[in-house]
């Protein structure tokens, strides 16, 4: 009887609820801000879910590839500002139709936003 009682108590003690805090990725305290000519600032968000609540999507903006990647990124930021936006997300390189993965991309595209 004592052995059974000890076994039941040890099973109850082992079965107690244990909470393990999930690992959460902390958001960046400040998104990266890049300055563009004419005083426009275009904030770069990695994904559309990172854009703050209340932001309005104004659609995709696309630019042709320039001589360097930095020049292409600058042209994209300028295109976002010209479209009336102040942020962008989901940047992606576009290859020509039918091109292989080894072929260089011909355009850079991003989703433009107006963030209050």
What's the pLDDT at 2?
80
What pLDDT shows up at residue 95? 92
Supply the CATH number for residue 77's domain: 3.30.110
| pLDDT for the residue numbered 16 | 63
Domain, as residue range, for 72: 31-96+105-116
Report if residue 8 sits inside a domain: no
pTM of the entire predicted model = 0.62
User: 3-state class of 46 per DSSP?
Assistant: coil
In this prediction, residue 48 carries a pLDDT of: 84
Phi first, then psi, for residue 58 (nearest 5°) are: -115, 5
* Separation of alpha carbons 108 and 111, rounded Å: 11
pLDDT computed for residue 34 by the predictor: 47
Residue 1 lies in a domain: no
Number of domains in the chain: 1
In three-state secondary structure terms, 26 is: coil
Of the candidates 49, 115, 52, 109, the residue with the CA atom closest to the CA atom of residue 84? 115
**Does residue 3 belong to any structural domain of this protein?**
no
The answer to whether residue 52 sits within a structural domain is yes
Do residues 78 and 37 touch, judged by C-beta distance below 8 A?
A: yes
Answer for the pair 100, 91: CB distance below 8 angstroms, yes or no: no
Asked if the structure places residue 58 within a domain, the reply is yes
> What separation in angstroms does the CA of 113 have from each of 25, 33, 85, 96, 103?
24, 14, 5, 26, 30
pLDDT of residue 41: 78
How high is the mean pLDDT in each 10-residue block of the chain (116 residues)?
A: 76 66 65 53 86 91 93 92 91 91 92 90
H or E element that contains 34: strand 32-35
């Amino acid at each position: 009887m004592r052995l059974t009682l000890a076994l039941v108590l040890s099973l109850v003690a082992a079965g107690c609820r244990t909470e393990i805090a999930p690992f959460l990725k902390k958001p960046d305290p400040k998104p990266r801000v890049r300055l563009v000519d004419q005083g426009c600032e275009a904030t770069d968000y990695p994904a559309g879910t990172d854009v703050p609540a209340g932001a309005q999507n104004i659609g995709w903006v696309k630019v042709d590839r320039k001589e360097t990647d930095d020049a292409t990124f600058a042209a994209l930021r300028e295109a976002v500002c010209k479209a009336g936006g102040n942020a962008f997300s989901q940047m992606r390189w576009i290859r020509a139709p039918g091109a292989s993965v080894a072929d260089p991309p011909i355009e850079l595209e991003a989703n433009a936003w107006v963030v209050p």
